[in-house]
Amino acid sequence: MRSAFYISDGTAITSEVFGHALLSLFPTEFNHITIPFVETEEQARQVCKEISDNFKQTGERPLVFYTIVNSDVREVISGSEGINYNFLDQFVAPLEKILGLPAKPEKHRTHSIHEKTYDIRIEAVNYALANDDGSTTDNYAEADIILVGVSRSGKTPTSLYLALQYGIKAANYPFTEEDMGDMLKLPPKLRRFKEKLFGLTISADRLHQIRNERRANSRYASIRQCRMELREVENLYRKEKIPFLNSTRFSVEEISAKILAQTGLTRKKY
Amino acid sequence: MRSAFYISDGTAITSEVFGHALLSLFPTEFNHITIPFVETEEQARQVCKEISDNFKQTGERPLVFYTIVNSDVREVISGSEGINYNFLDQFVAPLEKILGLPAKPEKHRTHSIHEKTYDIRIEAVNYALANDDGSTTDNYAEADIILVGVSRSGKTPTSLYLALQYGIKAANYPFTEEDMGDMLKLPPKLRRFKEKLFGLTISADRLHQIRNERRANSRYASIRQCRMELREVENLYRKEKIPFLNSTRFSVEEISAKILAQTGLTRKKY
């Protein structure tokens, strides 16, 4: 199997995202190897040796996706025996022309603690944890968004993703049987913040499957119970005009992107 | 201010990461606009209108970073009035030659629920939450890694990031004053899993600052208490040969990348 190296003087996240997106266009598998924090020529030479060894072992020239600010270190990697993609590079000169500005690369440009919004993101993670699963409803004034839905419809991972990636303070509140009674009504503690509510729903079959993995053969997991709860919350969303989406076929990344597009919430980080 | 559009038929995360990395090389600000899930020609025409309107308003041609699988939809965006970067495209033909394989783009290649490792990542998030902050020590047999350190040294956000991004099951355990007694010893419940332990430490000044934001002027936040606790844990790490790193100057992305590089843990997702 051919190897793909992702190399950087930082986290190498940019190289990984770019390289993986490119390789995912091809119907074949790769052996992925990430080497972050290559900051000296000595380290870069070590990486080149690893690339050469890999080439010898596999008989296939490895693909090398890299971004490195220091030109001496970059030079060393550019000379590796792999097929080298300094993938940002070719965009820089044309963009300098368009912007009328010389590029001024600095180390740790992205994914570092020096990003202006870093503290906001960590604060948002702490907020999401403290306000997960309806554990408290006292801090909703501070929320950017409050995700609502039945148990196991994807609220918690979505809240965490919104916080960690975008610095958005997302609380989440599960509608329980207590809330439902004869008919689900919007609890007063939520009604006060109605404009922040966003509903999640999910197919009954998928919910049944997820709950069954947690509590096999319980009433909680029964398809009948799942159907009932979902009917109740979807009726509520429609009646109260709460925006909502069905998470069944979507990843947390997709759910989050859709929520941002639908609500117009401002992300704190790109 | 010039605008940068990130457009895709999926989440647009790849466009965002690429575009943002490129633009971060320039010492100027941009107005970032993400438009995910552009899946029809009609939607694409709407996006083109938004780009034109932006150009008219700002007087500066917007930068447009996009990846779209459907060729009719892509065609429409390629004709926008922006400066269009179909940034994966130029790498495809040379790579087809190298791999001896035609590209076979499919929708939702990355960041989707169809990725093989998606369920592993969500399971890891649930694991991180259930085993956060020493809340239970019963499931350590299942852990890929157990982060240890004093309160507020970065364990929780790092555990969540490792889970969400890489599908790694990370528990975390805070050393408390109870554990410390006269001298911090490794609790037996941790000793059993010693090979999974990874320590975090932080500068006393930074810890003091973080704790002070939480509980101002408490003994817990005092610089003296912070110094004492950090001395104890660092001594323990050295004595027990527990690998560790100082998180003071690093983001969760950087801490996670360093942990992965140092431990050789296998990420479940790129």
Tens of pLDDT along A10-36? 999 999 999 999 999 999 999 999 999
Beta strand residue intervals within chain A, DSSP E: 3-8, 31-35, 63-67, 83-85, 145-150, 170-175, 197-201, 244-246
Same domain, residue pair A140 and A180: yes
Residue B108, pLDDT above cutoff 80: no
User: What does the alpha-carbon distance between residue A21 and residue B112 come to, in Å, rounded to a whole number?
Assistant: 12
Q: Is residue B158 part of a domain?
A: yes
Mean pLDDT computed over every residue of chain B: 94
- Residue A153 marked as a ligand binder: yes
B115 falls in which pLDDT band (50, 70, 90)? Answer: confident
Cα distance between residue B242 and residue B233, in whole Å:
10
What does the pLDDT look like over B218-269, one tens digit per residue? 999 999 999 999 999 999 999 999 999 999 999 999 999 999 999 999 888 7
Q: Hey, are the CB atoms on A160 and B125 less than 8 Å from each other?
A: yes
Q: How far apart are CA B180 and CA B165, in angstroms?
A: 33
Mean pLDDT of A71-84: 96
pLDDT for A121-135, tens place per residue? 999 999 999 999 998
CA A205 to CA A227: how far, in whole Å?
Answer: 8
Whether A113 maps to a domain, the answer reads: no
Query: Given an 8 Å threshold on Cβ–Cβ distance, is B26 in contact with A103?
Result: yes
pLDDT at residue A24 in the model: 92
Q: Give the distance from residue A182's alpha carbon to the nearest chain B alpha carbon, in angstroms.
A: 31
Do B92 and B153 lie in one domain? The reply is: no
pLDDT digits (tens, 9 = 90+) for A111-165: 888 787 889 999 999 999 999 999 899 999 999 999 999 999 999 999 999 999 9
Residues A69 and A147 in one domain: no
Containing structural domain, residue A21: 3-99
- Does residue A268 have a known ligand-binding role? no
The answer to the question of residue B107 being in a domain is no
CB A102 within 8 A of CB B28: no
- Is the domain of A127 the same as that of A220? yes
Higher pLDDT pick, B111 / A145: A145
Statement to judge: residues B56 and B83 lie in one domain: yes
Shared domain check, A90 and A7: yes
- Taking alpha carbons only, the member of B222, B208, B206, B202 closest to residue B155 is B202
Q: How far is A195 from chain B (nearest CA, A)?
A: 23
Is B100 annotated as belonging to a binding site? no
Quote the tokens at residue B96. Answer: 């087809």
Domain stop point among A69, A99, A129: A99
Q: Dump pLDDT digits (tens) for B130-180.
A: 999 998 999 999 999 999 999 999 999 999 999 999 999 999 999 988 888
Chain B residue with minimal CA distance to A152? B126
Q: B117 vs B193, which has greater pLDDT? A: B193
Q: Do B8 and B90 share a structural domain?
A: yes
Q: How many other CB atoms are there within 10 angstroms of residue B264's CB atom?
A: 6
Number of domains into which chain B is organized: 2
Output the domain CATH number for residue B205.
Answer: 3.40.50
Distance CA A69, CA A229 (A): 54
Chain A positions in Cβ-Cβ contact with residue B113 (cut-off 8 Å): 249-251, 254
Chain A interface mutation, best of B253, B255, B265, highest count of A Cβ atoms under 10 Å: B253
Of A190, A173, A180, the closest CA to residue A228 belongs to A180
Residues B123 and B237 in one domain: yes
In a domain, B236, yes or no: yes
In-domain check, residue A226: yes
Q: What is the pLDDT of residue B110?
A: 80
The verdict on A132 and A223 lying in the same domain is yes
Q: Are residues A140 and A211 in the same domain?
A: yes
**Which chain B residue's Cα is nearest to A132?**
B129
Q: What share of chain A is helix, strand, coil (3-state, %, to 5)?
A: 50, 15, 35
